[in-house]
């Protein structure tokens, strides 16, 4: 690691994997470095953005730019920019007392939409991602994909590289599983999401998948987060089952800060004390994450309960809590599934969830204003 001495004391450099360039980051010993978030309006000229980034660079500060969908964007700087550049045309706000997840924060911006091919997540229509826990074979996956599509799913899930608790359990088909996912996409026309376990697998998995899943066990695997930050595929970031909401959002911040603006959060249950459930689906976290960040939030009621009898109701509860979509384990014959059969439902059950979800979302569509997260990152106070 290179030691870079700047105007804010002793600093350490670290390697940004996307570019391979040694980018100076502030890490002043003994104190938390102050960081700055600068918001640019949609009409901000490119010269302003360039000048802000150049000024940061000349001060030895790292800057990450996250453009907004409708123009403008937000610049996160790991230090403070001088006052004169903050009056350039198009700079709408600058703050140093912001949330630590400055790029993920909802402060000064509206909700973002993640697009995977024709599928939009966060646009108001709940998205259902479904499929087996693990890819079992080419024909099995194509049959499952056909069935979940007919039941209302618009994306296919399936693990090729599996993070299993036991080293003796089936670890997935690896690259062969990725080929089956690509074959199912071609045959059935659903984009696919699959888990990537290791930094060195990111290129391989991204060459087959439409979205990269970071599993709960890897939520704080920072080398992996940095690497998917440099990938050109959206990232589905599952919450670690012992992680706080803030740790989850900081994990998303890693991906954003390393250059990938397409991050989707997934609540999948946390550890509770009661062995009646595999995990406890933490639906508090859904409206909170939507209040604090602009990122879409989906829910996994399969892992979040561990019981197939609970999946349907908790799926609907998740949508009532404001989730932008669901990821559900579905298998044509759940009892024969090679992994997680006890929490897996049938395509027919998924079709029921889909129908009820559409009715529910319709009922909930005229939400009172006080329930809608405001761009300042808070819910308005109930009068
Ligand atoms: C999965 O989606 O199959 C999975 C392993 O999920 P999690 O990382 O949430 O346990
Ligand atoms: Mn599973």
Residues 84 and 158 in one domain: no
Which residue lies with its CA nearest to atom 10 of ligand 1? 216
**312 assigned to some structural domain:** yes
**104 assigned to some structural domain:** no
- The first and second tokens of residue 262, run together, are 């397409």
Is pLDDT of 328 > 60?
Answer: yes
**372 assigned to some structural domain:** no
Is pLDDT of 171 > 50?
Answer: yes
Is pLDDT of 206 > 50?
Answer: yes
Q: Which of 133, 112, 131 is nearest to 123 (CA)?
A: 112
Is pLDDT of 322 > 90?
Answer: yes
Is pLDDT of 74 > 80?
Answer: yes
CA 243 to ligand 2 centroid distance, Å: 19
pLDDT at 344: 98
| 133 CB near ligand 1 (under 6 Å) | yes
The counts of H helices and E strands in the chain are 9, 17
Q: How confident is the model at residue 277 (pLDDT cuts 50, 70, 90)?
A: very high
- State which ligand 1 atom lies nearest to the alpha carbon of 217: 8
**286 assigned to some structural domain:** yes
CA 305 to ligand 1 centroid distance, Å: 12
Q: Which of 107, 103, 108 is nearest to 35 (CA)?
A: 103
Question: What span, in angstroms and rounded, lies between the C-alpha atoms of 340 and 214?
Answer: 18
pLDDT tens per residue, range 76-106: 998 999 999 999 999 998 988 888 899 999 9
**54 assigned to some structural domain:** yes
Q: How confident is the model at residue 346 (pLDDT cuts 50, 70, 90)?
A: very high
Of 95, 124, 146, which one is at a domain's C-terminal end? 95
Which residue lies with its CA nearest to atom 1 of ligand 1? 133
Q: How confident is the model at residue 5 (pLDDT cuts 50, 70, 90)?
A: very low
pLDDT at 12: 28
**377 assigned to some structural domain:** no
Average pLDDT, the chain: 89
DSSP 152: T
CA 286 to ligand 2 centroid distance, Å: 20
Residues 205 and 265 in one domain: yes
pLDDT at 29: 62
Residue pair 92/39 in contact (Cβ under 8 Å)? The answer is yes
Q: CB atoms < 10 A from the CB of 87, how many?
A: 8
Higher pLDDT, 149 or 20: 149
| 258 CB near ligand 1 (under 6 Å) | no
Residues 133 and 216 in one domain: yes
Question: What span, in angstroms and rounded, lies between the C-alpha atoms of 304 and 328?
Answer: 10
Q: How confident is the model at residue 72 (pLDDT cuts 50, 70, 90)?
A: confident
Residue pair 139/164 in contact (Cβ under 8 Å)? The answer is no
Is pLDDT of 379 > 90?
Answer: no
Residues 90 and 217 in one domain: no
Question: What span, in angstroms and rounded, lies between the C-alpha atoms of 49 and 57?
Answer: 12
Which residue lies with its CA nearest to atom 4 of ligand 1? 215
Backbone angles phi, psi at 365, to 5 degrees: -65, -30
223 to each of 209, 226, 254, 255, how far by Cα in Å?
Answer: 20, 5, 10, 10
Residues 242 and 348 in one domain: yes
pLDDT at 224: 98
Residue 262 domain boundaries: 114-367
Question: What span, in angstroms and rounded, lies between the C-alpha atoms of 172 and 177?
Answer: 7
Is pLDDT of 134 > 90?
Answer: yes
* Number of domain units in the chain: 2
Residues 82 and 134 in one domain: no
- State which ligand 1 atom lies nearest to the alpha carbon of 340: 3
CA 25 to ligand 1 centroid distance, Å: 33
Q: How confident is the model at residue 280 (pLDDT cuts 50, 70, 90)?
A: very high
Residues 118 and 91 in one domain: no
- State which ligand 1 atom lies nearest to the alpha carbon of 218: 8
Q: Do strands 73-77 and 36-40 pair parallel, antiparallel, or not at all (unpaired)? A: antiparallel
CATH label of the domain that carries residue 29 = 3.30.70.1140
Residues 85 and 173 in one domain: no
Residues 89 and 138 in one domain: no
b/e for 15-52, b at 16 or more Cβ within 10 A?
A: ebbeeeeebbbbbeeeeeeebbbbbbeeebeeebbeeb
Residue pair 177/201 in contact (Cβ under 8 Å)? The answer is no
Helix (H) or strand (E) holding 144: helix 138-150
Residues 120 and 21 in one domain: no
pLDDT at 378: 58
Residues 187 and 48 in one domain: no
- Of the listed ranges 136-150, 278-292, 367-381, the one predicted with least confidence: 367-381
| 134 CB near ligand 1 (under 6 Å) | no
Question: What span, in angstroms and rounded, lies between the C-alpha atoms of 142 and 146?
Answer: 6
pTM: 0.89
Residues 152 and 294 in one domain: yes
pLDDT tens per residue, range 54-70: 999 999 998 988 888 77
pLDDT at 367: 82
- State mean pLDDT over 18-46: 67
Higher pLDDT, 139 or 108: 139
| 159 CB near ligand 1 (under 6 Å) | yes
Residues 6 or more apart from 290 whose CB is under 8 A from it? Answer: 106, 111, 297, 322, 373
Is pLDDT of 45 > 90?
Answer: yes
Q: How confident is the model at residue 225 (pLDDT cuts 50, 70, 90)?
A: very high
**188 assigned to some structural domain:** yes
Q: Which of 320, 319, 117 is nearest to 328 (CA)?
A: 319
- The first and second tokens of residue 25, run together, are 């980051």
Of 50, 68, 95, which one is at a domain's C-terminal end? 95
- The first and second tokens of residue 373, run together, are 């997260």
Ligand nearest to the CA of 306: 2
CATH label of the domain that carries residue 230 = 3.20.20.70
Question: What span, in angstroms and rounded, lies between the C-alpha atoms of 376 and 383?
Answer: 18
pLDDT at 69: 76
- State mean pLDDT over 278-284: 98
pLDDT tens per residue, range 229-254: 999 999 999 999 999 999 999 999 99
**347 assigned to some structural domain:** yes
């Amino acid at each position: 690691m290179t030691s870079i001495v700047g105007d804010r004391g002793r600093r350490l450099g670290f390697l940004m994997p996307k570019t391979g360039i040694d980018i100076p980051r502030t890490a002043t010993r003994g104190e938390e470095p102050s960081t700055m978030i600068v918001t640019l309006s949609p009409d901000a000229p490119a010269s302003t953005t360039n000048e802000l980034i150049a000024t940061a660079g000349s001060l030895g500060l790292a800057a990450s730019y996250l453009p907004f969908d409708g123009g403008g964007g937000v610049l996160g700087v790991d230090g403070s920019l001088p006052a004169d550049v903050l009056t350039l045309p198009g700079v709408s706000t600058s703050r140093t007392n912001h949330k630590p997840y400055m790029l993920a924060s909802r402060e000064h911006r509206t909700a973002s939409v993640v697009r995977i091919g024709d599928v939009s997540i966060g646009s108001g229509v709940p998205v259902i991602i479904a499929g087996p826990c693990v890819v079992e074979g080419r024909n099995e996956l194509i049959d499952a994909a056909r069935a979940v599509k007919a039941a209302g799913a618009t994306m296919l899930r399936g693990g090729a590289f599996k993070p299993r608790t036991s080293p003796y359990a089936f670890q997935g088909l690896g690259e062969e599983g990725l080929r089956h996912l690509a074959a199912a996409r071609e045959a059935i026309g659903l984009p696919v999401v699959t888990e990537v376990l290791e930094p060195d697998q990111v290129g391989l998995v991204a060459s087959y998948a439409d979205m990269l899943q970071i599993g709960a066990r890897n939520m704080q695997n920072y080398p992996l987060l940095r690497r998917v930050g440099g990938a050109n595929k959206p990232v589905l970031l599952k919450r670690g089952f012992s992680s706080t909401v803030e740790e989850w959002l900081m994990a998303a911040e890693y991906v954003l800060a390393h250059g990938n603006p397409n991050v989707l959060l997934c609540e999948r249950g946390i550890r509770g004390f009661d062995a009646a459930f595999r995990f406890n689906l933490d639906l508090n976290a859904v409206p909170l994450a939507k209040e604090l960040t602009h990122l879409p939030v989906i829910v996994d009621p399969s892992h979040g309960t561990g019981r197939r009898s609970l999946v349907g109701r908790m799926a609907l509860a998740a949508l009532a809590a404001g989730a932008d979509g669901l990821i559900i384990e579905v298998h044509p014959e759940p009892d024969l599934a090679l992994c997680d059969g006890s929490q897996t439902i049938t395509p027919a059950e998924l079709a029921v969830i889909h129908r009820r979800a559409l009715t529910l979302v319709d009922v909930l569509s005229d939400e009172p204003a006080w329930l809608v997260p405001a761009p300042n990152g808070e819910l308005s106070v109930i009068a």
